[in-house]
A and B are shown apart, each in its own frame.
Chain A
Amino acid sequence: MMLNEGSPHAMPLTLLKYGLKRDYVPHREIPATPDLRRRYDVVIIGGGGHGLAAAHYLSKYHGIRNVAVLEKGYLAGGNTARNTTTIRSNYITNQSIRFYKEAVSLYEDMSHELNFNVMFSQRGQLTLAHSEATLRSFHLRAEMGKHHGTRISVVDPRQVKEICPHLNMDEGGQHEILGGLWHEDGGTARHDAVAWGYAAQAARRGVEIHQRTEVLGFDISGDKVSAIRTSRGTVSVGHVIQAAGGANQHVAKLAGIDMPIRCFPLQAMVTQPLKPFLHTLVSSANLHTYLMQSSRGEIVIGGGSDPYQLISTRSTLDIKEQLAHGAVQLFPFLHNVKLLRQWAGITDMTPDYTPIMGASPLRNYWLDCGWGTWGFKATPVAGKYLADTVANERVADILLPFSLGRFETMALINEMGATAASH
Chain B
Amino acid sequence: MKDYTQNFVELIRRAATDLPVDMEGSLRKARDKEEEGSAAESAFDTLIKNVEMAREKSTPICQDTGTPIFEVTIPVGVSMRELTDYIRQACAIATERAYLRPNAVDPLTGKNSGDNTGEDYPTIHFYEGDDEAIKVELLLKGGGCENVSAQYKLPDSKLGAGRDLDGVRRVVLDSVYQAQGKGCAPGVLGVAIGGDRGSSYVKAKQQLLRPLADKNENAELAELEDRIMDEANQLGIGPMGFGGETTVLGVKVGTQHRLPACYFVSIAYMCWANRRAQMEINLNTQEVSYA
Answer yes or no: are A and B bound together in one complex. no
Residues on B facing A (Cβ under 8 Å): none
Residues on A facing B (Cβ under 8 Å): none
